[in-house]
Each structure stands twice: as structure tokens, then as C-alpha cells.
Amino acid sequence: MFGKYISHSSRLLNRVLPHHCPICDCETSHYGLCAACWSGLSFITAPICLRCGRPVFGTAGTDLCVPCLQDPPLLQTQRALLRYDEGSKALILPFKHASRLDLTPLLAQMMLARFQELVSDEHLIIPVPLHITRRLYRSYNQSAELARHLCTLSDRRGQFDPLMCYRRKATRPLGKHNAKVRAKILKGAFAIRPKRLSKLKGRKILIIDDVRTTGYTTTEMARTLLQAGATQVDSLTLARIL
Ligand SMILES: [Zn+2]
Ligand SMILES: [Zn+2]
């Protein structure tokens, strides 16, 4: 009886209170992005490399890209929803830097199908951690918020462990540096909390991240997790630079 009343009330509210697009603030008839902002997003779709998730063209009899064939990454399966470009920046930058946590349910809903393709009952689901100084400055970890919502939406809250992995070093942006310098900056950047080690052993890990730039961060995280006893590390990212 109450369910009927609530559903009637929410239909009424929808009519009284118009929805607004969270990017451009135009009035919409539905929850979520307006058609113009939606069409500005570039979704990463097949054909992709089954390992690193990069779009591939003319795969010549293999499902892997050339770099993955030559030097397989530590991460088993990497997937991303969007290209990181002007269209997705309009959605992601406010979420990441301007405390727009109200965008989390929408972003998690958009990522949900990819998440469900990757996740299994054997996975523990963890976010890319922020260093404590950045966490205090920003007051939230956007990747942890995405992971928490994805676990709630898929009824996997028992598999969510936001505290398993932490950052020991506050690393500076890696963009300008070459591979050797990046590796040096990130070496030892992550650690596993000692009390979590027994829980981690023999498990698969799914890392949730907001933006993948070089991939070095999740690779270093995967190295730490595998050395500590994880059997496989996968990642799902909201957007990646291509
Ligand atoms: Zn819009
Ligand atoms: Zn690949």
C-alpha cells in the first residue's frame, strides 16, 4: 500500500519538479544527461583489446593488441567506459574536483553494465586510494564513491573493501615524465594494510578508478596486490586517455 503511495508521489513530484541536466543545467524530461550532453560523450566499444581494453582495428586473428602480445600487462582485464575528452571532462571534472558527489549515482549507473561483465563472486572490489593529505584536502575519494555505489547497485557490498590498499607516498602528477622516471616515482607508492593480508590471499581484485591517464598507477597497485598474494587484478575506469 505504501509502495503504491510512494510511487504515486514520486510521479507527482516528477511532474512538479523538473529535472535538470547535471552538465549544462538545461531542463530535461528525465533523470540524467540531456540529449546534447549525452551525444558529446564517446563510449569505448568493441573492437577492443581483450586484455588492456584499448580500441583496436584490424586485429589480424588475435583479440589482443600488439603491446599486450609483446609484453602482457600485470592487470588481467582493463576496461573503461568513456574516452577522456572534452565531452567527458564536463562530467568528470566537477565530480573529481568540485565536490559534485551528487553525480555519483548517475556515473555508477552508467558504469554498471561494464562492472557486471568484469566482476565475479571471487573478486574483492577496491578503489584507487588517495594519499591521506589529498584525501583530507578533498574530503572524499571519488573512486571509492564510485566503487561503493557500484557494489550497492549490484548487491555486492560484502565484497567492497575501501581500506585494503593505501598510498604510502604522495606522488606528484606523472604526465611529463618518461617511463623510467614514472616507475621510480611510483615504486613503493602503495601498501596493503597488514590486517587485510589474510583476506587478500588467493582472491581476485577489481580496482575501480575514475580516470586512467598512463596506466602506471593501476599497474603499480597491481604489482603490490599480486606480491601480497592476490591471484588476479582487473580494473574498471570511468574514463581513459587514448
Ligand atoms: Zn546537458
Ligand atoms: Zn592490449
- Say if CB 182 and CB 174 are below 8 A apart: yes
Query: Tens digits of per-residue pLDDT, 174-226?
Result: 666 777 787 788 888 999 999 999 999 999 999 999 999 889 899 999 999 99
| pLDDT tens track for 22-62 | 999 999 888 899 999 999 999 999 899 999 999 987 555 67
What's this model's pTM, rounded to 2 decimal places?
0.89
- pLDDT, residue 174, reads 64
d(CA 200, CA 202): 6
Q: Quick one: 55 and 100 in the same domain?
A: yes
Same domain, residue pair 88 and 185? yes
For residue 1, what pLDDT band results from cuts at 50, 70 and 90?
very low
Looking at the structure, tell me whether residues 9 and 115 fall in a common domain: no
Query: What is the SS3 assignment for 80?
Result: strand
C-alpha 147 – ligand 1 centre gap (Å): 25
Going from the Cα of 242 to the center of ligand 1, the distance in angstroms, rounded, reads 24
- Mean pLDDT on 112-120: 97
The Cβ of residue 215 has, within 10 Å, a number of other Cβ atoms equal to 19
Give residues with Cβ within 8 angstroms of 76, minimum separation 6. 51, 232, 233, 234
Q: How far is the CA of 89 from the centre of ligand 1 (A)?
A: 13
Q: Give me ligand 2 centre to Cα 53, in Å.
A: 6
Question: Residue 2 has what pLDDT?
Answer: 45
- In this structure, the answer to whether residues 99 and 167 fall within a common structural domain is yes
Task: Round to whole Å and give the CA distance between 154 and 208.
Answer: 14
Minimum-distance ligand to the CA of 71? 2
How many structural domains does the chain have?
Answer: 2
Query: How many residues comprise the chain?
Result: 242
What integer pLDDT is reported at residue 186 of this predicted model? Answer: 82
The residue segments making up the domain with residue 183 are 40-240
